[in-house]
Amino acid sequence: MTETSTSDRPTALVTGAGRGIGRAIVLRLAREGYAPIVVDLDAEAAEKVAAEAGGRAVALDVTDTDAVRELAASVPNLDVLVNNAGIFPPAPIAEVALAQFRAVMDVNVLGPLNLIQCFLPQLSAARGAVVNIASTAAKAPVPGTAAYSPSKAALISLTKLCAVELASTGVRFNAIGPGGVQTEGTASVSADPKREARFNELLPLGRRALPDDIADVVPFLVGSDGRYVTGQVIYVDGGLTESTIPFLQAAQRI
């Protein structure tokens, strides 16, 4: 574990925050007055975002229990935890190696559990909130991504379990399910302009999401306006997962 700089405002830890959705969440929470702890595998990326947001950068792997425990020992107060780090390597389900399937479950499910377990005392003391970044893939499986859809379904189930079993700690647990979002991690998906235009045309809100579209939902879930909300999933997907009929109509168009 390597790290830089500290602060003493109310604290929000975001994983996978060196780029993409995680970076946007850090910047939004910083504007809300939180001191962000920017966690990423990539030390340089974490430091860049921490410098932008006025926070602390920590380079670690969310699946590394010792590193997360060591970090937790150095963070006396934590109000908000956003489990955003996730991986989505392509693989056919009929052939995916069990080791690769396990690696995705490790990062996308056991990573968030690891952070929740290690930071529960601080979150409980603050009567804080956890947001897990799931995906529409939890609801509508994405062929060719093997463990990804099962991992996000498991993350939603974990969110609901924690909301109920840990309610007495005072911590609320919710999830966000983004649809298609333009990030460094999905750059190849929207690289073909024709395919991208077709995707946008079929989407009810008419465009792929930007990271800020996802980040802007977080303050409600972690703030006082969301005080009676726990165990919920907000799909921030431009209507993607509710557009079966428009999709069929488009498919039948002559």
Binding residues with ligand NAD: total (CB under 6 A):
30
Told to check if 22 binds ligand NAD by CB under 6 A, we report yes
Contact 79, 11 (CB under 8 A): yes
Shortest Cβ 219–ligand NAD spacing (Å): 17
User: What letter does residue 1 receive in the DSSP assignment?
Assistant: -
Span of 29-37, 39-47, 194-202, 215-223 interacting with ligand NAD by CB under 6 A: 39-47
Query: Among residues 63, 114, 174, 230, which is the contact residue for ligand NAD, using CB under 6 A?
Result: 63
Told to check if 84 binds ligand NAD by CB under 6 A, we report yes
Report the alpha-carbon distance of residue 85 to residue 23 in Å, rounded: 11
Nearest CB to ligand NAD, comparing residues 33 and 144:
144
Told to check if 15 binds ligand NAD by CB under 6 A, we report yes
Shortest Cβ 140–ligand NAD spacing (Å): 11
- Contact track, ligand NAD, 113-152, x by CB under 6 A: --------------------x-x-----------------
Told to check if 62 binds ligand NAD by CB under 6 A, we report yes
Nearest CB to ligand NAD, comparing residues 143 and 224:
143
Nearest C-alpha neighbor of 253 from the set 214, 216, 202: 202
| Class of residue 193 by CB neighbours under 10 A (exposed 0-12, middle 13-18, buried 19+) | exposed
Contact 15, 22 (CB under 8 A): yes
Q: Report 183-242 residues binding ligand NAD (CB under 6 A).
A: 183-186
Q: How long, in residues, is the chain?
A: 254
Report the alpha-carbon distance of residue 159 to residue 230 in Å, rounded: 9
Nearest CB to ligand NAD, comparing residues 53 and 85:
85
Contact partners, residue 197, CB within 8 Å, separation at least 6: none
Within the chain, what is the greatest distance between any pair of CA atoms?
A: 63
Contact partners, residue 227, CB within 8 Å, separation at least 6: 172
Nearest CB to ligand NAD, comparing residues 18 and 150:
18
Shortest Cβ 225–ligand NAD spacing (Å): 23
Nearest C-alpha neighbor of 169 from the set 135, 130, 138: 130
148 is catalytic: yes
Nearest C-alpha neighbor of 19 from the set 240, 211, 225: 211
Report the alpha-carbon distance of residue 59 to residue 223 in Å, rounded: 27
Span of 96-104, 157-165, 180-188, 226-234 interacting with ligand NAD by CB under 6 A: 180-188
Interaction site with ligand NAD (CB under 6 A): 15-16, 18-22, 40-42, 45, 61-63, 84-88, 107, 111, 133, 135, 178, 180-181, 183-186
For the annotated catalytic residues, the residue numbers are: 148
